[in-house]
Amino acid sequence: MFLILRVQCIQRLHFQLVSFKNIDNTENSHPSSSKEKEWEEERERLLGQIVEREDSLRIVQQQLVDTKKINLDLYDKLKVADEKWRRMERDMTRFSDHYTQENESLKKTISNLETSNAILQETIRKRNENDETVRAELEKKYGQHAELVGTLQEKQSALAEAESELVVLRRKVASMEKELKEMPFLKEVDVINFIYL
């Protein structure tokens, strides 16, 4: 709107200048040095205004070009940030699903092993302690069970570390959301838009 008003103003000045030229042509048939001087001064003044308005028009056009470039740069930056955010969301969802499945699987395995251990202990209690063969077999199975429990405990520790990493990732995502909202170029565009309103 501001640009349109400036163009209209310049057009009116051109029209006035043409009108003054026509009046000059009419006055030439009745020369009057005083009137001629007045028209000449008025014409010079109008010409100065036209030049000034044309300069202002060029400045506004350049400002519009600069604003358009800033808007395009901002759009590109926002698009890249949005793509990174969506990719991170997908990675977090995939990691969370994998963690849940692995955790459930380990819980079931531990429950089965605990049941097996209870059965083995009951069997050991009921077995004849003097039967060395049976005792050796049971001790072997108990050792295997202990080894499996140790392995599962290590996996549980690894899962606990993975859960901690997931918490850290969520905090980083929250921080990135905050930084995205406070990006300097967003504020810069707001200032530019305010200046040219």
Residue 30 has pLDDT above 60, yes or no: no
- In the chain, the amino acid numbered 170 is R
Q: How many other CB atoms are found less than 10 A from the CB of residue 13?
A: 20
Tally of domains within the chain: 1
Which pLDDT does position 21 carry in this prediction? 45
Give residue 74's domain range.
2-23+31-195
Evaluate whether 20 touches 42 at the Cβ level (below 8 Å).
yes
Of residues 21 and 83, more confidence is placed in 83
Per-residue model confidence as pLDDT tens digits over 153-190? 888 888 888 888 888 888 888 888 887 777 765 555 55
Which residues, 6 or more positions from 109, have their beta carbon under 8 angstroms from its beta carbon?
A: 152
Q: In angstroms, what CA-CA distances link 100 with 86, 94, 159, 162? A: 21, 10, 10, 11
Averaged confidence pLDDT in the chain: 77
Per-residue model confidence as pLDDT tens digits over 45-95? 888 888 888 888 899 899 999 999 999 999 999 999 889 899 988 888 888
Whole-structure pTM value:
0.33
- In the chain, the amino acid numbered 32 is S
